[in-house]
Amino acid sequence: MVKAVFPGSFDPLTLGHLDVVERASAHVDELVVLVTGNPNKPSGLFPVERREELAKEALRTADLRCPVTVDHWGGLLVDYTSANDIGLIVKGLRSSLDYEYEWPMAQLNRRLSGVDTAFYVTDERYAKVSSSLVKEIARFGGDVAEFLPAPIAAAVAEAAGS
């Protein structure tokens, strides 16, 4: 039984994230999409609770092959994995830049708790999609619908005032 976690800020969750969730759901028995951040120190476009709500909405119409839940966490990832009996961390890799950012975390998480990280190479359709760029485009009034699940696109457009 493989229980995995896909952690991230998800501010907001993009189609690239959703693609990783769908693909990972075919390889594990249970998956938690974990919105990280401290609910008492809101920063970013959406507070943690809203990111969680939006992720849940997006997952309603996703092609999921195992039970997928959404949760949030403001502490160390390995404390969450240990407390929830999770044996695998799932991440997406768009480029070597992501790799440089991710590999120290993967090594330290493994050293701290023995938990391994599995990387999914981002589908080429989403290789340039990031939550930060999507927010920037929306802030300047650009259309971000092609990068986001439909319910999230509407919420981002409204929050960014576009």
Total binding residues toward ligand PNS, as defined by CB under 6 A: 9
The contacts of residue 42 (CB under 8 Å, 6+ apart) are 48
Q: Is 94 a catalytic residue?
A: yes
CB of 8 to ligand PNS, least distance (A): 3
- In the list 2, 105, 137, 159, the residue contacting ligand PNS (rule: CB under 6 A) is 105
* Binding segment (CB under 6 A) for ligand PNS, from list 7-15, 44-52, 138-146, 153-161: 7-15
Query: Residue 2 — left, alpha, or beta (φ > 0 → left; ψ -120 to 50 → alpha)?
Result: beta
Q: Is 108 in the site for ligand PNS (CB under 6 A)?
A: yes
DSSP string, 15-54: HHHHHHHHHHTTT-SEEEEEEES-TTS--SSS-HHHHHHH
In the residue annotation, 43 being an active-site residue is answered as no
Binding to ligand PNS by residue 77, rule CB under 6 A? yes
Helix (H) / strand (E) containing 105 = helix 96-113
Q: b or e along 132-145 (b: 16 or more beta carbons within 10 Å of the residue's beta carbon)?
A: eebbebbeeeeebe
Marked catalytic residue, from 25, 72, 113, 131: 131
Beta bridge partner(s), residue 92: 120
Q: Mind telling me the catalytic residues?
A: 17, 41, 94, 131
The annotation places the binding site at 9-10, 17, 41, 77, 91-94, 102, 126-132
As annotated, the binding site for substrate includes 9, 41, 77, 91
Q: Which residues bind ligand PNS (CB under 6 A)?
A: 7-9, 36, 76-77, 105, 108-109
